[in-house]
Amino acid sequence: MPRVWGGRTLETLLGRQLPGPGPWGESWEVSDRPSEQSVVSSGRWAGSSLHELWNFRREELFGDNLKSSRFPLLMKILDSKDDLSIQVHPPAQIAPLLGGSPKTEMWYIARALPGSKLYVGLRKGITRGQLEEAIRSGSMENMIHSVEPRAGQSIFIPSGRLHAIGAGMLIYEIQQNSDTTYRVFDWNRVGLNGRPRDLHVRESLASIDFTDYEPAMDQPKGQNLATCQHFKVDFLELSTGATICNPDPDRFSIITVTNGEIQDKRGNVYSTGDFLLLPRGPVALDAVKSTSLLQTTLPY
């Protein structure tokens, strides 16, 4: 996806062939959106879209008692050469009133250049009135809390949390299958078309959690980075020759290789930045060398 804040790290760090000169900010790796479909690249179901598998092979590949009409997650890689807009996603109880869809997400920091920042939540004591005045005056950056993350850290972003990714990061994002984002401030810049990008001030003010002050980066609970009603994300480190499989053989998982290499039983090797669907059943992958990965599943 071309983005005004994007760069070329997907090419230089992950070896992706980009469609043009860019800037490229997002790669939608696991997507069942009407206009953006993931297609299986190898294996028995090569050539099938995620939507086809979800609709026609759901119980066989994913498990039973999964009711949503589309695959419920959207998984991306984000390359922020510049700051993203300060934005918010609407909570479930607000989204239908605004014509959008709720979105809760989490970020895993794969790379963070020195001084890179995440903007998350409000600075302590900031009121709605102060925020509205800052929006009018174009000084929003003084209202929002910031942290300087390290590679390997993560943070949960519930819907309603004011947030922005700062420049100099590569991030794996796992979220609800939604594309509703309300921009409240865009650093007074223009978009790729040379005009200011649309802002959604009314919708943002209706969505922001004004009690969300100064959140910190998350502290993992063992191997678990995030668990909510929408997803469960674990971080695993494998030694050479170790095997990874689904924690529940009756349910699927998505593997994201964050460093290293793993291979399937046919000898296909997958490396940093690759996303793989492990269908239900006794499917396993082996670490070719020391490897770290994210394993994402759906909660019961």
pTM for this prediction? 0.95
Q: Specify the pLDDT at position 190.
A: 84
Segment 193-197 shows an average pLDDT of 87
Check 183, 197, 202, 266 and give the catalytic one: 183
Segment 207-217 shows an average pLDDT of 97
Q: Mind listing the pLDDT tens digit for each residue in 98-140?
A: 999 999 999 999 999 999 999 999 999 999 999 999 998 888 8
Segment 237-264 shows an average pLDDT of 96
- Here the tokens at position 146 are 């910031």
Instruction: Indicate whether 201 pLDDT > 90.
Output: yes
- What is the C-alpha to C-alpha distance for residues 39 and 280, in angstroms, rounded to an integer? 18
Q: Specify the pLDDT at position 169.
A: 97
CA angle (121, 125, 128) in 5-degree steps: 70
Reduce the DSSP state of residue 70 to 3 states and report it: coil
Q: Mind listing the pLDDT tens digit for each residue in 3-31?
A: 999 999 999 999 999 999 989 999 999 99
Instruction: Indicate whether 187 pLDDT > 80.
Output: yes
Q: Mind listing the pLDDT tens digit for each residue in 28-66?
A: 999 999 999 999 987 788 999 999 999 999 999 999 888
Domains and CATH numbers, the chain: 2-32+71-207 (2.60.120.10), 224-297 (2.60.120.10)
Task: Report the percentage of the chain scoring pLDDT > 90.
Answer: 88
Name the average pLDDT for the chain.
Answer: 95
- Here the tokens at position 95 are 């989204």
Q: Specify the pLDDT at position 64.
A: 87
pLDDT band (50, 70, 90) for residue 284 = very high
**CB contact at 8 A, 128 and 148:** no
Note if 57 is an active site residue: no
Q: Specify the pLDDT at position 290.
A: 97
Calculate the alpha carbon distances from 151 to 15, 155, 254 in Å: 19, 12, 21
Q: Specify the pLDDT at position 71.
A: 97
Give the amino acid at 297.
Answer: T
**CB contact at 8 A, 105 and 161:** no
Q: Specify the pLDDT at position 289.
A: 97
pLDDT band (50, 70, 90) for residue 194 = confident
Does 136 or 173 have the greater pLDDT score? 173
